[in-house]
Amino acid sequence: SSTNKDQYSLGFAGDTANTAIYLSRLGASSSYITSVGNDKLSKKMISFLRKEKVKTNNIHINKKETVGLYLIDNNKNGERNFFYWRSNSAARTLLKNVNSKVLLKQISKYDAIYFSGITLSIYDQKSNEKFYKILKSLKAKNIKIYFDFNVRLNNWKSKTIALQTII
């Protein structure tokens, strides 16, 4: 039988989403914080997370944007190549459209917060400054903060900006 090597399947993933899902599968209570659109694809993503028992009450709906997309193509040796379409993703707008004080109040009940280098790469400088203020407030409340140094340099304007932001 022939295989359709150029056929792709739709799935929902990403470093932080995968972590929330894995924690849920292990029996932990997990929640995902992001921004998605109000379109069919965004609704499917929320439904998928709910089926995985990941809480979605802190997912902001941005009616002007949608989720970012990426495609993974595996070569014959199994090496993965990534192609991204997420420069206008709703996730980039989260801290522009959500009241930081309200978000902080909601997530102050959490035991821990997890984010990655990819998280930092999608925000502009102003959003990252808001995010750091939220993290400092959470740290002051003795909430554990976990940072995954997952960095994709092509997400950043420059290596210098990436280093300044992460370190």
- Taking a C-beta distance cutoff of 8 angstroms, is the pair 72, 106 a contact? no
- The pLDDT > 90 percentage for the chain reads 62
- E strands within the chain? 30-31, 34-36, 54-55, 59-61, 69-74, 80-85, 112-116, 144-148
Report the C-alpha gap between 16 and 117 in whole angstroms: 10
- The pLDDT > 70 percentage for the chain reads 97
- Taking a C-beta distance cutoff of 8 angstroms, is the pair 19, 9 a contact? no
Report the C-alpha gap between 149 and 154 in whole angstroms: 15
Helix (H, G, I), strand (E, B) or coil at 144: strand
Mean pLDDT by 10 residues, the chain (167 residues): 69 93 97 96 97 97 92 86 83 93 93 92 90 95 92 78 79
* pLDDT tens profile 83-115: 888 778 999 999 999 999 999 999 999 999 999
